[in-house]
C-alpha cells in the first residue's frame, strides 16, 4: 500500500508545516499581481479551445467515471488538497478531468425525491430514465420494494452497458464498493429494491413474484462482461468461509440458495482464459493481454479506503482501471467501461472529509491513467457524480490555508462568534454534531482535525451525513463530447452516450453519417455518351478485345433481360433461383440478391448476361465494356451477380473486368484477386462489389 503510506505521510507533513510552507511561497507568486498573467492564462485557454474543432467521430469506446457523492464542493476541496500535497497553495491546482473541453450540469433528483439516492440516479445516468428512490434498472412506475409492479419485463430499462454488450462491444465494471451496490448494479440489474443484493436479503414473497437478487443478475445479465472488479464476496457464495478472514463469521458467504456464483460465472467460458482473484498478489499476476475474462472480489463487503491498510492487500482504483482498459482494448469493436469511486460517498456519510477527499484524489489518478491509455479520437471519457453531499467550504480562510485544517473568520480571526475554533470544511448534518450540556460546541484546539478519522462538525444530528440535492458537474472529452452542455436532467447522460457510441435505438444518425461518407468517396465522374474512341487501355491491365466481335444488346434491357445467340427469344427472361446458394469460396452472401440461372452449356448466353449486368452497374455501354473485357470465353463457373451498390470509377471497372482473362480454374476466387490488385481491404471492397461464385447447379 505504498500510495496509502505516501498519502498519510503527506497529510502529516502538510498539517504540521502547511502554513509556514505556503507563506514561504508568497514571494514566488509575485507574478499573480500582474494582470498580464491572468490575461495570458485566459488567452491561452481561448486559443486552445477555438483551435480544436468539435470531435464528431463515433465513440468506439466509452469510459464513464462516477464519483459517488462527488458534488462541486467535494471537487473543489479535492483540487485544493491535491495542490497543497504537491507543495502549492492549492487553489490553482487542476484535477485530471478539469482540462476536458466540455462541461455540463446534471439535475440529480429522483422521480419521487428532491434529494436522490444512488440507485435511482444510476438508473438515470445509465438507463436514461428517472426512477424512484431505492430502485434500480426500472422505470418510475415501480415503487421501492414492489416486485409485482415490475410486470415481468414491462418496466425494466436497459443500461448503456447492456446495450454495448448486445452490440458486440466488450464491457467492464470497476468499483471500490460491492459489485452489487447501487451504482454498479445500474449497469446490469433490474430491481425494485437496491438492498436485495443476495437472495438472503429478499423477502419470500418477492421471490415468489419472480424477482431475482442483484448478485445473480450480475452473473446472468452480465455474463458476457469481460471485467468485473470490486468488493462484495459475501453475496456470491453460500455460507462459505472467507479466504481473507477465515475466523470472522460475519464475513462468510450469505447466500441461502446453495449457488456459487463465481463458479457459475465461469460456465460457458471453458475455451477462454478466465480468472477469479481476491487479493492484490493474484491481481498483479493477471496479464491483461492474455486474459479474456476477469472477476475480482477483494473484500466481503466494500473495498478498503485508500487511506487504510489491508491484511491481504488489494489494488487501488487506478490499478484496477489500468488493468480493465488494457484488457478491453483488445476488442476491435470497442468497449464500455464503468468506473466508480464509490467510497467518496462513504467517507462523507461518516462525516470524515479527509477520507472522502483522499478517495476523490485516487479517482483523479484513475482518470489520468485512462487518459494516458486512450485517444480522444475514438474514446469518450465522462466524469460525473450521482449526487452531492452537504459538505461546505466556509469561513474566509487565507489563500493556501490547509483545506483540512482550521478555518478563519471574516476578520482573520481563528474562531467563530462563540469563541471556539472551527474547520474550513463542515457538514450540514451528520455524526459530527456535538453540543455539550452547556450548549457549546466541542473545543477542537487540541484535536488533530486532519486525521483520517476526524469527523468534521455538523449543524444537525444525523446518524449518517446525508446526500445533498444541488446539481453536479459532468465533464467530457472525446467523440461527441460537446453533447454535454448546459443544464440537463441526469437521464440525458445515458442518451448522449447512446448517441455518441451509436448504441441501441440511437443508430440512425450513424447510418446517415456512414452513407454520407460513402457518397463523398464516390467519384464525381458522370457517365458520358458512348464513343468508340474514348476508352484508353489501362496501363496495368492491358486488355485487347475486338469490339466488332461483341454481340449487340438493347441498352434499355433490364437487369435480368438476357439476349441469347442460340436462337432463344430476346424477350425471354432467365429463371431466378428462389434460394441463394453461397459458394464455398464466399463467406457472406446478400440474401436479397436474386441469382440468374443460365444453362451451363449456353456459354454465349452466359457471357451476354454477365455483360448486361456489369453494363448497368458501371453505367457504361456495350462498346465501352467489351474494350475492357478479355477475349477469353466465359467458363461455366463464373460470376452470376454484381451487387447493385457498385459505383466504381472507369479505371476501377477496367481493373475488375480485366481480371476475367486471369480466371482459368473452377475454384478461382475473383474477390481475392480484386482485393489484392485494387489495393484495398476486403471490408472496403465489399462496399463496392460483391461477386458470388456458382457451379451451375443453383
Instruction: Tell me which residues are annotated as active site.
Output: 118
> Which residues, 6+ apart, have CB-to-CB distance to 358 below 8 Å?
7, 305, 306, 307, 347, 452
Q: Which of 335, 357, 337, 333 is nearest to 346 (CA)?
A: 357
What is the grid cell recorded at 152?
415481468
What is the grid cell recorded at 190?
433490474
Give the number of other CB atoms < 10 A from CB of residue 689: 22
DSSP state of 65: E
- Classified as helix, coil or strand, 274 is strand
Give the number of other CB atoms < 10 A from CB of residue 687: 15
Task: Give the distance, in angstroms, between the CA of residue 524 and the centroid of all CA atoms in the same chain.
Answer: 38
Sheet (strand 472-477) strand order: 274-277, 293-297, 227-231, 170-178, 335-341, 61-67, 379-385, 472-477, 102-107, 487-489
Q: Which of 408, 455, 395, 400 is nearest to 429 (CA)?
A: 455
CA angle 292/298/304 to nearest 5° reads 135
471-to-184, 467, 474, 482 alpha-carbon distances in Å = 21, 12, 10, 19
Whole-number Å distance between alpha carbons of 394 and 403: 10
Whole-number Å distance between alpha carbons of 418 and 354: 25
584-to-589, 591, 638, 669, 692 alpha-carbon distances in Å = 11, 15, 14, 10, 10
**For cell 493556501, what's the residue?**
400
- Classified as helix, coil or strand, 160 is helix
> Which residues, 6+ apart, have CB-to-CB distance to 650 below 8 Å?
525, 618, 620
Question: What Rg do the C-alpha atoms of the chain give, in angstroms?
Answer: 34
- Cβ pair 670, 664 in contact under 8 A: no
| Crossing angle of helices 670-677 and 650-658, rounded to 10° | 130
- Cβ pair 351, 427 in contact under 8 A: yes
441-to-415, 420, 436 alpha-carbon distances in Å = 12, 8, 6
- Classified as helix, coil or strand, 460 is strand
**For cell 436485495, what's the residue?**
196
Whole-number Å distance between alpha carbons of 70 and 474: 11
Give the number of other CB atoms < 10 A from CB of residue 27: 7
- How would you classify residue 384: left for phi > 0, otherwise alpha for psi between -120 and 50, otherwise beta? beta
Q: Which of 261, 142, 250 is nearest to 206 (CA)?
A: 142
**For cell 445533498, what's the residue?**
468
HSE-CB at 278 with a 13 A cutoff on CA atoms is: 14
- Classified as helix, coil or strand, 618 is helix
Q: Which of 453, 105, 437 is nearest to 305 (CA)?
A: 453
Amino acid at each position: 500500500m505504498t500510495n496509502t503510506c505516501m498519502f498519510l505521510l503527506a497529510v502529516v507533513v502538510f498539517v504540521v508545516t502547511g502554513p509556514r510552507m505556503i507563506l514561504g511561497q508568497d514571494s514566488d507568486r509575485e507574478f499573480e499581481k500582474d494582470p498580464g498573467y491572468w490575461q495570458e492564462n485566459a488567452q491561452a485557454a481561448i486559443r486552445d479551445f477555438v483551435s480544436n474543432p468539435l470531435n464528431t467521430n463515433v465513440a468506439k469506446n466509452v469510459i464513464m467515471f462516477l464519483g459517488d457523492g462527488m458534488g462541486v464542493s467535494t471537487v473543489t476541496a479535492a483540487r485544493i488538497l491535491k495542490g497543497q500535497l504537491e507543495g502549492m497553495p492549492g487553489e490553482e491546482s487542476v484535477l485530471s478531468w478539469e482540462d476536458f473541453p466540455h462541461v455540463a450540469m446534471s439535475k440529480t433528483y429522483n422521480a419521487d425525491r428532491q434529494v436522490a439516492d444512488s440507485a435511482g440516479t444510476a438508473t438515470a445516468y445509465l438507463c436514461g430514465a428517472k426512477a424512484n428512490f431505492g430502485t434500480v434498472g426500472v422505470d418510475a412506475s415501480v415503487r421501492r420494494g414492489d416486485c409485482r409492479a415490475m410486470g415481468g419485463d414491462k418496466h425494466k430499462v436497459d443500461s448503456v452497458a447492456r446495450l454495448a454488450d448486445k452490440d458486440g462491444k466488450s464491457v467492464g465494471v470497476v468499483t471500490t464498493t460491492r459489485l452489487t451496490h447501487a451504482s454498479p448494479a445500474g449497469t446490469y440489474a433490474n430491481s425494485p429494491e437496491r438492498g436485495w443484493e443476495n437472495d438472503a436479503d429478499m423477502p419470500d414473497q418477492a421471490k415468489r413474484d419472480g424477482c431475482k437478487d442483484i448478485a445473480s443478475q450480475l452473473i446472468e445479465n452480465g455474463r458476457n462482461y469481460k471485467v468485473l472488479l470490486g468488493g462484495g464476496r459475501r453475496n456470491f457464495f453460500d455460507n462459505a468461509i472467507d479466504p481473507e478472514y477465515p475466523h470472522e463469521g460475519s464475513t462468510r458467504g450469505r447466500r441461502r440458495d446453495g449457488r456459487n456464483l463465481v463458479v457459475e460465472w465461469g460456465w460457458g467460458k471453458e475455451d477462454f482464459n478466465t480468472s477469479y482473484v481476491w487479493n492484490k498478489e493474484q491481481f498483479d499476476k493477471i496479464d491483461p493481454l492474455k486474459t479474456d475474462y476477469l472477476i475480482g472480489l477483494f473484500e466481503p463487503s466494500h473495498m478498503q479506503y485508500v487511506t487504510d491498510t489491508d491484511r491481504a492487500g488489494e489494488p487501488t482504483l487506478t490499478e484496477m482501471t489500468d488493468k480493465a482498459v488494457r484488457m478491453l482494448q483488445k476488442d476491435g469493436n470497442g468497449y464500455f467501461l464503468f468506473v466508480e469511486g464509490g467510497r467518496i460517498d462513504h467517507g462523507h456519510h461518516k462525516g470524515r472529509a479527509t477520507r472522502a477527499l483522499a478517495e476523490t484524489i485516487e479517482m483523479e489518478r484513475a482518470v489520468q491513467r485512462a487518459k494516458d491509455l486512450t485517444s480522444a479520437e475514438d474514446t469518450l471519457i465522462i466524469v460525473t457524480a450521482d449526487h452531492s453531499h452537504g459538505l461546505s467550504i466556509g469561513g474566509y480562510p487565507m489563500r493556501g490555508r490547509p483545506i483540512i485544517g482550521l478555518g478563519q473568520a471574516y476578520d482573520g480571526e481563528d474562531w467563530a462568534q462563540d469563541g471556539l475554533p472551527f474547520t474550513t470544511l463542515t457538514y450540514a448534518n451528520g455524526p459530527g454534531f456535538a453540543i455539550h450540556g452547556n450548549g457549546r460546541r466541542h473545543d477542537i484546539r487540541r484535536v488533530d482535525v486532519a486525521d483520517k478519522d476526524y469527523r468534521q462538525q455538523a449543524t444537525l444530528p444525523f446518524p449518517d451525513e446525508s446526500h445533498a440535492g444541488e446539481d453536479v458537474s459532468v465533464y467530457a472529452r472525446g467523440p461527441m463530447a460537446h453533447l454535454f452542455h448546459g443544464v440537463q436532467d441526469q437521464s440525458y447522460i445515458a442518451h448522449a452516450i447512446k448517441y455518441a457510441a451509436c448504441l441501441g435505438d440511437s443508430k440512425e444518425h450513424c447510418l446517415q453519417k456512414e452513407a454520407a461518407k460513402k457518397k463523398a468517396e464516390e467519384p464525381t465522374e458522370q457517365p458520358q455518351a458512348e464513343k468508340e474512341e474514348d476508352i484508353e487501355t489501362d496501363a496495368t491491365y492491358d486488355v485487347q478485345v475486338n469490339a466488332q466481335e461483341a454481340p449487340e444488346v438493347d441498352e434499355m434491357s433490364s437487369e435480368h433481360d438476357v439476349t441469347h445467340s442460340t436462337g432463344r427469344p430476346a424477350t425471354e427472361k432467365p429463371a431466378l433461383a428462389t434460394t441463394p446458394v453461397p459458394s464455398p469460396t464466399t463467406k457472406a452472401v446478400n440474401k436479397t440478391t436474386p441469382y440468374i440461372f443460365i444453362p451451363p452449356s449456353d456459354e454465349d448466353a452466359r457471357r451476354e448476361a454477365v455483360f448486361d449486368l456489369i453494363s448497368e452497374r458501371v453505367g457504361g455501354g456495350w462498346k465501352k465494356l467489351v474494350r475492357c473485357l478479355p477475349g477469353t470465353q466465359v467458363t461455366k463457373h463464373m460470376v452470376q451477380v454484381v451487387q447493385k451498390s457498385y459505383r466504381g470509377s472507369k479505371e476501377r471497372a477496367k481493373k475488375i473486368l480485366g481480371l476475367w482473362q486471369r480466371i482459368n480454374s473452377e475454384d478461382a476466387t475473383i474477390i481475392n484477386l480484386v482485393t489484392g490488385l485494387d489495393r484495398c481491404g476486403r471490408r472496403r471492397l465489399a462496399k463496392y462489389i460483391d461477386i458470388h461464385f456458382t457451379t451451375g447447379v443453383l
